[in-house]
């Protein structure tokens, strides 16, 4: 049976969810959760994608990201999952899969949709009783140690959102695609 392809639109921003293998609570281990965050940051900093929000839950990951100019959504998730899986295997001597195959995505349609998904990600640790407030959970963008990229960097509402980001003092991350 063939796996259905994800439909991606160039310049689109996506809310993505992926689970651990057999929904094991792998990321209850602080080192494993840190490795996932470090992997996301490393590939973001290398220009493969922009990260607008994320949360590493004990058995799944939610992330809002915009693939870079030369990166597909599939490639972005392959980098996150493959890179973190490799590092977790090395650091924690893990001999079985970290991630469930595949992921689900929702293309962000507009600012209202973006805000709803940001709230969902920020509230996920609170809803699951892992924190009293979003900023109390250490493996999410609400915690404040990882600065999210402004949204949208490359969507249909680009000019309007960039103006809003500029007035808030935020600048889009430069594209690293030709380096």
Question: Domain limits at 113?
Answer: 14-157
Instruction: Give 5: exposed, middle or buried? Use CB within 10 Å, 0-12, 13-18, 19+.
Output: exposed
- Give this prediction's pTM: 0.80
Does some domain include residue 176? no
Does some domain include residue 82? yes
Q: What is the CATH number of the domain that holds 60?
A: 3.30.70.1290
The CA-to-CA distance between both ends of the chain, in Å, stands at 39
Tens of pLDDT, residues 127-152: 999 999 999 999 999 998 888 999 86
CA torsion through residues 154, 160, 164, 167, sign: positive
3-state secondary structure of 32: helix
Tens of pLDDT, residues 12-36: 999 999 999 999 999 999 999 999 9
Does some domain include residue 51? yes
What's residue 155's pLDDT?
Answer: 47
Does some domain include residue 48? yes
Task: Identify whether the C-beta of residue 48 lies closer than 8 Å to the C-beta of residue 79.
Answer: yes
Task: Please give the tally of structural domains in the chain.
Answer: 1
Mean pLDDT by 10 residues, the chain (179 residues): 50 94 96 97 96 98 96 97 95 88 96 96 97 96 90 50 46 39
Does some domain include residue 171? no
């Amino acid at each position: 049976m063939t796996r259905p392809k994800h439909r991606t639109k160039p310049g689109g921003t996506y809310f993505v969810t992926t689970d651990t293998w057999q929904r094991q609570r792998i990321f209850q281990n602080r080192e494993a959760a840190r490795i996932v965050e470090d992997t996301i940051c490393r590939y973001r900093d290398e220009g493969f994608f922009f990260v607008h929000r994320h949360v590493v839950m004990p058995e799944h990951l939610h992330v809002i990201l915009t693939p870079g100019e030369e990166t597909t959504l599939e490639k972005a998730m392959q980098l996150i999952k493959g890179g973190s899986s490799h590092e977790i295997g090395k650091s924690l001597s893990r001999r079985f899969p970290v991630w469930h195959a595949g992921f689900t995505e929702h293309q962000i349609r507009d600012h209202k949709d973006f805000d709803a998904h940001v709230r969902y990600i920020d509230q996920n640790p609170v809803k699951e009783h892992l924190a009293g407030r979003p900023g109390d959970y250490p493996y999410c963008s609400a915690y404040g140690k990882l600065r999210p990229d402004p949204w949208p960097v490359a969507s249909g509402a680009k000019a309007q959102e960039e103006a809003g980001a500029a007035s808030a003092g935020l600048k889009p991350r430069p594209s690293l695609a030709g380096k």
